[in-house]
Structure 1
Amino acid sequence: MTRVLMHFKILIVGLFVLKSFGSGLPDYYYKMKSGERQKREFIKIMLPLIKKSNHLIVVERQFVKKFFDEAIKTGFRDLPSKNLSKLLRLSRKYRIKNLFDRRQYLKRIDVVPVSLALAQASVESGWGKSRFVREANNIFGHWTYTGVGLIPAGREEGKTHRIRIFASLQRSVNAYMLNLNRNLAYQSFRDKRLKYRQEHKDFNGIAAAKTMLMYSQLREKYIKILVGLIRDENLLYYDAYKPAALMDSA
């Protein structure tokens, strides 16, 4: 297969995904003028997506805790194959090398502060109005090197990264949280989150934002932008709700 034909097929796949699932925020949103009303609407759209992603993480965390509680009681003997298979899938998903490393599961399978997710969604997507959101459901600026994706405007010569295409906004949020929970670049985020949990302290968006040094080439400036946005838009308000399932120490 020639390289031209291969890239043509990749392009068709990307277009099929977008055509099948649609992309971007609701049409009415793009007709809104920038301002406080538009920001509030963006938050209203993003909140259920962020909460759903966190809920899925909570379900996975509960499974891990139950699995190890039961395994310890039986001395890790006669473990149900169904549960072992699920644990194996989670170990691969979160890149956990030791299948029975309970501490690593609970360190990585944990929720992301809602205010942090809202702030990063706002910054990375220009309050949802960026080309990446409109054309690829990509809220958090995720890159890909698979060849399937949008070519960023102004990409430097010799660079091969593209903007990843998601089938839905929800999948973009899911990928963002998985990225923070398993990527080596965000180890300090996970370390700090675990430390706060062990000390029974509230790991809010500002505390989390201060670990996002590697998320952007802006580095320290990026952290200041996030912290400023969280404060200016009163986003800490959305960190108030904590599911009972998370009231534990890892």
Structure 2
Amino acid sequence: MHKAKIILVTMLVVIAVVLVIIFMLPKKSIVTSIPSVENAYEPVPKFSEYKQVKEKKKAFFNYLAPAVKAQNDYIKLIRQEILGYQAKEASGERLSDYQIEELKWLTKEYRVETNQDKSDMYQELLRKIDIIPSELVLVQAANESAWGTSRFAQKGYNFFGLWCFKKGCGFVPSRRNEDASHEVAKFTDLSSAMYSYMRNLNRHPAYSDMRAIRYQLRSNQKPITANAMAGGLLKYSERGEDYVKELRQMIRINKELIAL
């Protein structure tokens, strides 16, 4: 009987210790936790092996679509958090230390100045942190990666031609000028690549026109469409207007396949 009591007490102590440890662990933030999809670390499919064009396109879209959705769902959650911060401060309440840290992370991640009026800061955050229509993401990925067959996509999950500027950060382009130092970024998984691409469109000065189009649509309570937002990507390619026309044509031609 005495032995049983000792075992019971020991078990209760262990449970108590575990509960204390769990309680003391830092809370996982939905803001700073970048979402990952189930196939994120799986090798990129060999799209060049498809003989039928339609089947290759379907496989390509089906592979990327879950990652696109995960990032857009994440962006929607972040927008709700930002609106919550804004409402809380507008009512005279102070943000919690945890919320302050999340807000700091967002302003740094999306390059938003914090020394401006609070309402302007929140407006800029909401202007930058917003969804990218899946149709636009998918056709741009197809355009930039030759339908997933480029070595950058196959070996580094880079479907968007994203650059990096630290030696060894990626692939050295074969046509790079002698005085250039950029590389084509290499990613460890699909989700981090998709996050980087969307963040790039949402924060880089070159795509402010795209964000202005989206902001105008949202302000007028109109649908945020791929066709409209493609018009803000003139600076994504040296081809400019021809590049935008090609994206819009791809959106139109592949509309039914993307919807499958």
TM-score by length of 1: 0.81
Q: Is the 8 A contact 1:112 1:177 kept in 2?
A: yes
For 1:146, give the aligned amino acid: K
Per the alignment, do residues 236 and 213 of structure 1 end up closer, same or farther by CA in structure 2, a change over 3 Å counting? farther
Counterpart among 106, 110, 113 of residue 133 in structure 2: 113
Q: What is the distance in 1 between the residues matched to 2:86 and 2:65?
A: 32
Unaligned runs of 5+ in 2: 1-39
Q: Is the 8 A contact 2:57 2:257 kept in 1?
A: no
Per the alignment, do residues 235 and 185 of structure 1 end up closer, same or farther by CA in structure 2, a change over 3 Å counting? farther
Q: What is the distance in 2 between the residues matched to 1:156 and 1:79?
A: 49
Q: What is the distance in 2 between the residues matched to 1:170 and 1:228?
A: 27
Q: What is the distance in 1 between the residues matched to 2:143 and 2:42?
A: 19
Aligned to 2:51: 33
Higher-Rg structure is 2
Q: What is the distance in 2 between the residues matched to 1:160 and 1:57?
A: 32
Q: What is the distance in 1 between the residues matched to 2:41 and 2:155?
A: 9
* Equivalence map 1:15-164=2 (5 Å): 24-27=43-46, 29-33=47-51, 35-73=53-91, 75=92, 77-98=93-114, 100=118, 101-147=121-167, 148-164=169-185
Per the alignment, do residues 230 and 123 of structure 1 end up closer, same or farther by CA in structure 2, a change over 3 Å counting? same
For 2:228, give the aligned amino acid: A
- For residues 99-154 of structure 1, give each alpha carbon's deviation from its aligned partner in whole angstroms, at most 9, with x where no partner exists: 63111111111100111101100000111110101121111000111112111112
Q: Is the 8 A contact 1:142 1:164 kept in 2?
A: yes
Q: What is the distance in 2 between the residues matched to 1:157 and 1:34?
A: 40
Q: Is the 8 A contact 1:230 1:236 kept in 2?
A: no
Q: Is the 8 A contact 2:158 2:187 kept in 1?
A: yes
Aligned to 1:200: 221
Aligned CA RMSD, in angstroms, stands at 1.8
Q: Is the 8 A contact 2:141 2:160 kept in 1?
A: yes
Counterpart among 208, 230, 234 of residue 251 in structure 2: 230
TM-score by length of 2: 0.78
- For residues 161-206 of structure 1, give each alpha carbon's deviation from its aligned partner in whole angstroms, at most 9, with x where no partner exists: 1111111111111111100110000001111101000111112111
Q: Is the 8 A contact 1:24 1:169 kept in 2?
A: no
Q: CA deviation at 1:34?
A: 5.2
* Runs of 4+ that moved beyond 2 A: 21-24, 235-238
Q: CA deviation at 1:79?
A: 2.3
Q: What secondary structure is seen at the aligned counterpart in 1 of 2:170? A: coil
Q: Matched residue pairs, number?
A: 215
Q: Which has the higher contact order (CA 8 A, sep 6+)?
A: 1
For 1:127, give the aligned amino acid: W
Q: What is the distance in 2 between the residues matched to 1:30 and 1:79?
A: 52
